[in-house]
């Protein structure tokens, strides 16, 4: 990899501070209120067992605001007078760390089976529907750039969290997240950090320019008309929805899949028993009938 000099700070896609910061422990009643709030706005199923996670992810923010307990914070974010703060809470709760070429089998399928069968002149649209800090979207872009003509493909990465989308656009990552990137891809698409950025790498600007990032709420896709996609990655996100929300999200996502297109979910996620307009190609890979 080439080297990078001074850039923006590395940041972190998952740097919510742990620790109570003197914040009172959340009660079961308040936990129920937060459950209802996150379910209503983003479809997130937050079980009672996640009380400690909720407290640890929000406690630093409460400390910054001078609040003693989550009851006060709930009052602040539950109405419509502080939507910006509610988005900040969503960012803190939904942030999860990932890495490049995660669940390698899906990318092997794309490289070895799917891309060769798609006609070169066809313009491909790919959607990373829960892209987090962008590793999945850039992985897809690397593969497409290797095997497709310039201008014949596009990648959209979307997430509910504005915080992780800012991180994705910056495209500066700890080296540990790129340990699965094949060496030829590292040389072509990544710049090695030096000095204060030692231990990080930056995705090349040419590749960054080919990936668009935008906020999308998977439970409210009707708010955006993004057209149809040939390939949608919806990995490791539906496990956070209850059964009704999961079915709604899947049906809405499939409605945005072109006939003959493919949907990829996480290896640990199952669509078994769900009435969906899909044919199983292999576990976690599905095709929409023509």
Rounded Cα–Cα distance for residues 231 and 187 (Å): 27
DSSP 87-139: HHHHHHHH-----TT-SHHHHHHIIIIIHHHS-TTSPEEEEETT-TTTHHHHH
Q: Residue 78 contacts by C-beta under 8 Å, 6 or more apart in sequence?
A: 33, 37, 86
For the chain, give the number of residues.
Answer: 290
Residue 198 assigned to a binding site: no
The yes-or-no answer on residue 57 being catalytic is: yes
Residue 180 assigned to a binding site: no
DSSP 130-150: T-TTTHHHHHHHHHHHHHS-T
Residue 54 assigned to a binding site: no
Residue 217 assigned to a binding site: yes
Residue 169 assigned to a binding site: no
The yes-or-no answer on residue 88 being catalytic is: no
Residue 278 assigned to a binding site: no
Residue 245 assigned to a binding site: no
Q: Tell me which of 30, 145, 159, 230 is the catalytic residue.
A: 159
Residue 159 assigned to a binding site: yes
Q: Residue 129 contacts by C-beta under 8 Å, 6 or more apart in sequence?
A: 158, 216, 218, 232, 233, 234, 237, 253
Residue 75 assigned to a binding site: no
Q: Tell me which of 30, 57, 61, 216 is the catalytic residue.
A: 57
Rounded Cα–Cα distance for residues 27 and 90 (Å): 20
Binding site feature residues for S-adenosyl-L-methionine: 96, 98, 102, 136, 159, 217-218, 235-236
List residues with catalytic annotation. 57, 159
Binding site feature residues: 96, 98, 102, 136, 159, 217-218, 235-236
């Amino acid at each position: 990899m080439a080297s990078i000099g001074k850039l923006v700070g590395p940041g972190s896609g998952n740097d919510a501070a742990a620790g109570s910061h003197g914040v009172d422990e959340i009660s079961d009643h308040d936990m129920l209120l937060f459950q209802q709030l996150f379910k209503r706005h983003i479809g997130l199923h937050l079980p009672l067992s996640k009380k400690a996670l909720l407290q640890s992810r929000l406690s630093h923010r409460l400390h910054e605001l001078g609040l003693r307990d989550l009851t006060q914070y709930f009052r602040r974010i539950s109405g419509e007078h502080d939507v910006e703060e509610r988005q900040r809470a969503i960012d803190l709760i939904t942030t999860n760390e990932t890495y490049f070429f995660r669940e390698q089998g899906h990318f092997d399928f794309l490289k070895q089976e799917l891309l060769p069968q798609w006609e070169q002149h066809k313009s491909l649209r790919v959607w990373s529907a829960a892209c987090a800090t962008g590793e999945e979207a850039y992985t897809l872009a690397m593969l497409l750039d290797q095997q497709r003509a310039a201008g014949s493909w596009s990648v959209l990465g979307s997430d509910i969290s504005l915080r992780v989308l800012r991180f994705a656009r910056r495209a500066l990552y700890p080296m540990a997240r790129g340990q699965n990137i094949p060496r030829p891809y590292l040389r072509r698409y990544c710049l090695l950090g030096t000095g204060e950025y030692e231990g990080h790498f930056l995705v090349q600007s040419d590749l960054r320019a080919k990936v668009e990032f935008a906020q999308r709420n998977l439970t409210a896709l009707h708010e955006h008309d993004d057209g149809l996609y040939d390939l949608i990655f919806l990995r490791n996100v539906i496990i956070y929805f209850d059964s009704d929300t999961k079915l709604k999200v899947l049906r809405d996502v499939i409605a945005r899949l072109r006939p003959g297109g493919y949907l990829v979910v996480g290896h640990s996620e199952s669509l078994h028993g769900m009435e969906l307009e899909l044919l199983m190609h292999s576990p976690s890979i599905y095709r929409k009938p023509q």
